[in-house]
């Protein structure tokens, strides 16, 4: 497929528009309500005052103009809890007593809910806590596509699928902005790996960029009027994202109608003239390029003052839309509040995925099992912090062991814990000890002993926040610290074994699933994670989460590995903007490695499905304690819309929620396409015996592909198979419609 650099000539000037969709932004941005006032303010500002707004003031703020009553912009990391207060110019915490926040389930957990409504609540919760702390802009949601199973920040991101990611980005953005805080969509764009993120140059086809990587950003801008965007660390087609005119001007502003402000990722600015003219508003957190150097460039006539005025206007739009909170009003009460804790619980309870359910062990019957062994380091480990990057100083975090103990308090069941394996530590990571070490015989013996003398074993393992971290990708997906071996021995000691995997990303669970008849994924699931897990295990809540990404059988099956375009050779150094500054400098001088997105549009299940590569657990998979029956599919299409109607019934004996997934395949397509693609989904709650009609409407424009010959979206005429499933590989109903030629 054609490369987008064909749209660029040497100096970075765009000669062919990559954005001729002819679409106008969906609705007028709320940011446009103050234009006259802004003009008047800019007229009164000195050049120095203007430039002073275009870079960091402190680590998490950029300046306003006090003289004119323009408040500073206060930023808050994001994306899964409001970060504690820091000293103005360092990463050191201030140590306040009121800045403990709610730890919300991380990105892939939110995505596993497949619920735009819960994403809205999540955004609401984040905004409420941001406002209590006097923050204007949340540095989130983090919405890059989970391209690699090993990506260090997969746990922060949402999904391997653009439609699911887009729906949740929209929900989060609306929820946050309806409640008074701006979002900052990050990291724009194509920041899909952590290794060498500060130096890689992404090579991607225009089609893959449009169909896979940009939709979550586009939807949050067009449909939810996102006010902020963070430019990513990497380059795209030769240009740093913070000075990439194609991304920042042509696509984001000209095509999508973005009216807000773009800030750099921390330390991700690389030039003065290039950045400000391409569309960067604020260099964060310092002023190396957009401070004195920018002032000099304007004075020397290299940058026109009208460019500065435009960048200031874009910031002021956000500043005048988001009411500033006086410093005296911020931090008066504890950040984490019960309403937000409830949201964290709701998200967690809907996110847990039941992967496997044999052996009739679940839900746990406390009359049947009088002694329960809870085994594993993750049963007692808090996941709100760890690794590099934003953590949450959580007011509290209920661990799995605490949750299980809380919920079984009055049942008379004895609960005992054994560590089973060593949790991977920060020290291990810094000294580059591999997480993929052997089991510790002493811990195994102890755990096996406990398993033998208990009626039921609940193993809580998986990754932790030192294994999955910003700044570096994982080197594999096997279970860390000898957990496979431990699981095998536990199963031999007691076959009544339920395995709970705490993770934000895919794992190789082949051996684990042989050992455990029942297995769940419970994510890095926030302050209430342990309670939500216990409620699912005990059956108060029927599991209803669905995988937002594929679990491959083995890492080498996944597209970038199979095509040997990842890891790039230079990544052996694991250089990072923070982790290894020497490497960053070196890499930047050498031009950095190329990240070749050779798998093109075949990301995640699109690859496995189309190439017929078997997987362990498919995208969209997730079982329930009850049974859903799908029937009576009717499909039709008119000029503008595809309509599908079906009946869904709960034929089991428990309440449950099902996520109905609608995929579309184009059997006679003249172009290369995935076998099928997710085009819609609905989460439906049903009581036992209840039946509901599910109606889905899809605007036909959602079926378009990016045509690289015209650089525009195109709707292909012909047959479209409508496939309704409980997962991408569990298709229950199908029908076909004809898309008319136009």
Closer residue to ligand BGC (CB): 50 or 186: 186
| Nearest CB to ligand BGC, comparing residues 284 and 303 | 284
Q: Closest separation between CB of residue 216 and ligand BGC, Å?
A: 15
Give the Cα separation of 312 and 326 in Å (integer).
22
| Shortest Å distance, C-beta 184 to ligand BGC | 8
For residues 224 and 174, is the Cβ–Cβ distance under 8 A? yes
- Position among 135, 186, 210, 311 found at the interface with ligand BGC (CB under 6 A): 186
Binding-residue pattern over the window 417 to 446 for ligand BGC, x denoting contact by CB under 6 A: ------------------------------
Query: Nearer to ligand BGC by C-beta: 213 or 602?
Result: 213
Query: How far is Cα 681 from Cα 377, in angstroms, rounded to an integer?
Result: 36
SS3 549: coil
Q: How far is the CB of 137 from ligand BGC (least distance, A)?
A: 10
Site map (CB under 6 A) of ligand BGC, residues 349-388, x = contact: ----------------------------------------
Examine residue 77 and tell whether it contacts ligand BGC (CB under 6 A): yes
Please, what is the minimum distance in Å from the beta carbon of residue 85 to ligand BGC?
13
Rounded to the nearest whole angstrom, what is the least distance from the CB of residue 619 to ligand BGC in the complex?
25
- For the chain, the distance separating the N- and C-terminal CA atoms, rounded to the nearest angstrom, is 25
DSSP labels, 627-686: -EEEEEEEEEE-SSEEEEEEEEEE-SSS-EEEEEEEEEE-TT-SS---S-EEEEEEEEEE
Using CB atoms within 10 Å of the CB of residue 223, give its burial: 0 to 12 exposed, 13 to 18 middle, 19+ buried.
Answer: middle
Binding mask 588-627 for ligand BGC (x = CB under 6 A): ----------------------------------------
Determine, following the binding rule CB under 6 A, whether residue 182 of this chain makes contact with ligand BGC: no
Per-residue contact string for residues 561-590; x = within reach of ligand BGC by CB under 6 A: ------------------------------
Q: How many residues bind ligand BGC (CB under 6 A)?
A: 8
Name the residue nearer to ligand BGC (CB basis): 78 or 279: 78
Smaller CB separation from ligand BGC, 390 or 500: 390
Smallest distance from ligand BGC to CB 124, Å: 20
Of 77, 121, 265, 440, catalytic: 265
Nearer to ligand BGC, 136 or 265 (CB): 265
Q: Residue 731's CB: how many other CB atoms inside 10 A? A: 17
Length of the chain, in residues: 742
Q: Residue 458: which residues within 8 A CB-CB, separation 6 or more?
A: 372, 373, 374, 375, 379, 400, 404, 498, 500, 537
Listed in sequence order, the residues at least 6 apart from 436 whose beta carbon sits closer than 8 Å to its beta carbon are: 475, 476, 478, 480, 481
Exposure letters 503-523 (e unless 16+ CB within 10 A, then b): bbbbbbbebbbebbbbbbbbb
Q: Of 392 and 497, which has the nearer Cβ to ligand BGC? A: 392
Q: Is 265 among the residues known to form the active site?
A: yes
The two structure tokens encoding residue 41: 């303010």
Q: Which is nearer to ligand BGC, 226 or 372 (CB)?
A: 226
Contact status, residue 555 vs residue 508, Cβ threshold 8 Å:
yes
Binding string, residues 210-249; x marks residues near ligand BGC by CB under 6 A = ----------------------------------------
User: Cβ contacts of residue 279 below 8 Å, gap of 6+?
Assistant: 245, 248, 249, 252, 253, 262, 311
Q: Contact with ligand BGC (CB under 6 A): which of 49, 72, 218, 265?
A: 265
Candidates 157, 240, 266, 625; binder of ligand BGC (CB under 6 A) is 266
Q: Per-residue string for binding with ligand BGC, 385-414, x by CB under 6 A?
A: ----xx------------------------
When asked if residue 139 is in the footprint of ligand BGC (CB under 6 A), the reply is: yes
337: Cβ–Cβ under 8 A, 6 or more apart, which residues? 102, 128, 129, 132
Rounded-to-integer distance, Cα 143 and Cα 599, Å: 20
Instruction: Please list the active-site residues.
Output: 265
Residues forming contacts to ligand BGC in the complex (CB under 6 A) are: 77-78, 139, 186, 265-266, 389-390
């Amino acid at each position: 497929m054609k490369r987008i650099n064909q749209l660029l000539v040497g100096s970075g000037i765009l000669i062919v528009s990559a954005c001729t969709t002819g679409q106008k932004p969906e609705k007028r941005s709320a940011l446009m309500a103050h234009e006259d006032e802004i003009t008047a303010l800019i007229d009164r500002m000195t050049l120095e005052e203007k430039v002073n707004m275009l870079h960091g003031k402190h680590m998490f703020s950029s300046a306003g103009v006090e003289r004119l009553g323009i408040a500073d912009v206060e930023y808050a990391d994001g994306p899964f809890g409001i970060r504690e207060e820091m000293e103005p110019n360092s990463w050191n915490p201030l140590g306040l007593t009121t800045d403990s926040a709610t730890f919300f389930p991380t990105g892939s957990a939110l995505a596993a809910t497949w619920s735009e409504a819960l994403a809205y609540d999540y955004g609401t919760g984040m905004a409420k806590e941001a406002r209590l702390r006097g923050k204007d802009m949340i540095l989130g949601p983090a919405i890059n596509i989970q391209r690699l199973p090993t990506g260090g920040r997969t746990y922060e991101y949402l999904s391997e699928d653009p439609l699911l990611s887009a729906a949740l980005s929209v929900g989060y953005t609306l929820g946050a902005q309806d409640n008074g805080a701006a979002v900052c969509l990050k990291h724009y764009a194509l920041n899909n790996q952590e290794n060498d993120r500060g130096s890689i140059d992404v090579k991607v086809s225009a089609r893959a960029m449009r169909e896979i990587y940009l939709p979550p950003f586009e939807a949050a801008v067009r449909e939810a009027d996102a006010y902020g965007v963070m430019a990513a660390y990497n380059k795209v087609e030769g240009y740093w994202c913070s000075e990439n005119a194609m991304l920042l001007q042509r696509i984001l502003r000209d095509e999508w109608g973005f009216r807000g402000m773009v800030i750099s990722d921390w330390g991700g600015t690389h030039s003065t003239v290039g950045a400000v003219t391409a569309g960067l508003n604020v260099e964060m957190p310092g002023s190396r390029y957009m401070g004195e150097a920018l002032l000099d460039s304007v004075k020397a006539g290299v940058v026109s003052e009208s460019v500065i005025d435009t960048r200031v206007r874009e910031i002021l739009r956000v500043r005048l839309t988001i009411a500033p909170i006086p410093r005296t009003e911020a931090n008066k009460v504890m950040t984490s509040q019960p309403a937000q804790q409830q949201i964290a619980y709701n998200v967690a309870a809907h996110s847990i995925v039941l992967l496997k359910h044999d052996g009739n062990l679940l839900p746990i019957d406390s009359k049947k099992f009088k002694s329960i062994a809870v085994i594993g380091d993750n049963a007692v480990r808090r996941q709100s912090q760890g690794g590099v990057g934003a953590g949450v100083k959580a007011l509290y975090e209920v661990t799995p062991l605490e949750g299980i103990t809380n919920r079984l308090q009055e049942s008379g069941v004895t609960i005992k814990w054994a560590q089973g394996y060593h949790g991977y530590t920060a020290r291990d990571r810094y000294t580059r000890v591999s997480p993929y070490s052997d089991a510790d015989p002493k811990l195994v013996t102890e755990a096996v002993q406990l398993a033998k003398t208990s009626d039921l074993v609940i193993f809580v393992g998986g990754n932790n926040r030192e294994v999955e971290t910003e700044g570096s990708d994982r080197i594999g997906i096997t279970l860390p610290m000898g957990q496979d071996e431990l699981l095998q021995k536990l199963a031999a000691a007691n076959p009544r074994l339920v395995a709970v995997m705490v993770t934000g990303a895919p794992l190789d669970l082949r051996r684990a699933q042989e050992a455990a008849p029942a297995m769940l994924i419970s994510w890095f699931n926030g302050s209430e994670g342990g309670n939500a897990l216990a409620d699912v295990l005990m059956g108060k809540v029927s599991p209803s989460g669905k995988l937002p990404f594929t679990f491959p059988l083995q890492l080498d099956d996944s597209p970038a590995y199979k095509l040997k375009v990842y890891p790039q050779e230079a990544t052996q150094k694991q250089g990072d903007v923070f982790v290894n500054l020497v490497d960053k400098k070196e890499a930047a001088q050498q031009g950095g490695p190329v990240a070749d997105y050779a798998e093109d549009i075949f990301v995640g299940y699109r690859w496995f499905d189309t190439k017929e590569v078997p997987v362990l657990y498919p995208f969209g998979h997730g079982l329930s304690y009850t049974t859903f029956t799908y029937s009576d599919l009717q499909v039709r299409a008119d000029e503008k819309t595809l309509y599908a109607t079906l009946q869904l019934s709960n034929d089991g004996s428990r309440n449950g929620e099902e996520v109905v997934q609608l995929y579309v395949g184009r059997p006679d397509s003249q172009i290369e396409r995935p076998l099928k693609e997710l085009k819609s989904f609905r989460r439906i709650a049903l009581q036992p015996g209840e039946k509901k009609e599910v109606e889905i409407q899809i605007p036909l424009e959602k079926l378009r592909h990016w045509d690289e010959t015209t650089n525009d979206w195109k709707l292909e005429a012909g047959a479209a198979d409508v496939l309704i499933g409980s997962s991408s590989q569990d298709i229950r109903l199908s029908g076909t419609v004809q898309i008319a030629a136009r």
